[in-house]
Amino acid sequence: MEAATCPVLDLAAAPVQQDRVKAWEYFRSGGDVSRLSNGDWCVTGVETVRYVMTHPELFSNSILNELEHCPVDLIPEGVDPPHHRRFRSRLNPPFAPQALDGMMDEFRRQAQELIGRFVQRGNCEIMEELARPFPATIFLTMMGLPASDTDLLIGMVRGINGGEPLTSGMSQKEYARECSEALTAYLREAIAQRRERPVDDLLSSIIAPMGDDQWTDDELLGFGYQFTLAGLDTVASTTGFVFRYLAQHPETRRDIIQDPSLIPPLIEELLRIENVVPFNHRRTVVDVELGGQIIPSGSTVWVSLATANMDPEHFSNPEQIDPNREAGHFAFGTGIHRCIGSHLARRELRVLVEEFHKQIPDYELASTPEAEIEWPAFILAWDAVPLVFSPPAQ
């Protein structure tokens, strides 16, 4: 099939802000492989998505370094085989379930502290008061960095991932570069401090040599930069979708309060259906034939995790939340670059839902102007999730 006959889809035409089910249907309408109006390529079906993400020798993940404005290779996501294994094997243990389970009491303490700031007020804005500060404090705790830097890091990450410039006359791209430079400087200083005075934290443990393997400052920066972006923004965005859904479904809220074991499967379904990272990106290393199309070497490929998660050939009634669903989703990707922080993200989300509902079981969305989701964007998020509730009796 000639490339000229390939369907062309307009990113701006997808109704992501109004109806994400229809938006992902729109992307699937181009078939397994299509072109985007910006000239890039798009793959959508479960099998094509899985193929692209499990063949790094054909589809390089190094493009991520450019998209995130990182001055060095992101570790481990921005590195392809065979070098990827060296970093992944070192990072797997601290992000394994057993290691994270030992931190759950601290996670709960931090969630309780944040909730305690607004519980007696009778209202809160989830994004500003819980979704963003919670994963930021977890990151700072794990890295052994000052809790007072929470707002500073949140601002940097939001700027890199598409936040509006605070300075008039500055483009978003310029602002992202400025925030990237600020985050880079922050992390380099933290690395230098830990090299001089190691303590009991994740950064110090990665700095310490393991046999003959000792990471350079650039490699440590690449790890810190990725951990900051992925750890703060994606969990925050997912938290907004989770609480907005629960605010609109009181029957589900009652179910999880009565039986907290229902929380993890509910979170899995919300991760699937409200995929906050709807696309991963790859760059072709050689000419690749896929879905009847020849994708030239050096092409940017949008790998649609969101459409794979809504593929009716893989998920029955994909638009419905079904906590009993057994088919695994693609919210964390697949293949060797699957999100290393998936176990951490799941635990953070579970802790927030459990601790919030222990103190605030009944709430609803506030009657304020309708919140929005920015699109096109690499990460989907509600700009606000305002809730109102009756303060608990003291």
Q: What are the pLDDT digits (tens) for 178-232? A: 999 999 999 999 999 999 999 999 999 999 988 888 999 999 999 999 999 988 8
Rounded CA-CA distance 90/96 in Å is 11
Residue 1 predicted with pLDDT over 90: no
160, pLDDT greater than 70: yes
pLDDT at 162 over 80: no
pLDDT band at residue 22 using 50, 70 and 90 as cut-offs: very high
* Segment 54-113, tens digit of pLDDT: 999 999 999 998 888 899 999 999 999 999 999 999 999 999 999 999 999 999 999 999
- C-alpha to C-alpha distance for 115 and 111, rounded to whole angstroms: 6
Q: What's the pTM?
A: 0.94
What tens digit of pLDDT does each residue of 219-244 get?
999 999 999 998 888 999 999 999 99
* For residues 252-278, average pLDDT: 96
